[in-house]
Amino acid sequence: MMYLLAIAFIFNASILSTSTIAESWFVTFDLNQDGFVSFDELIAANFLTTNEAFRAADLNRDNLLDKLEFFSPILRSDN
């Protein structure tokens, strides 16, 4: 039983640390802290991307990436 609890703890800790890292990425790129990441913010942060990649991630076509859109390419690549 303790073995299973240890595995569960390690698994949850890795999820939390991954979530924390992901959140820090979003905050890093959201230069004006409005809760969205624009293409210009990505360029200003020296993040190498293309306009085409940005448009593909911008699911609602508002020229801004919310957190779900920001991470959607990562989520899709796992499938």
Domains of the chain: 2-77 (1.10.238.10)
Global pTM? 0.68
pLDDT at 61: 96
Whether the CA torsion 73, 65, 20, 28 is positive or negative: it is: positive
Q: What is the pLDDT of residue 6?
A: 39
Q: Are 45 and 29 in contact (CB under 8 A)?
A: yes
Phi, psi (deg, nearest 5) at residue 62: -100, 10
Other beta carbons within 10 Å of 56: 13
Distance CA 6, CA 21 (A): 22
As a whole number of angstroms, the distance between CA 68 and CA 59 comes to: 9
pLDDT single digits (tens) 11-60? 444 444 567 777 888 899 999 999 999 999 999 988 877 888 899 999 99
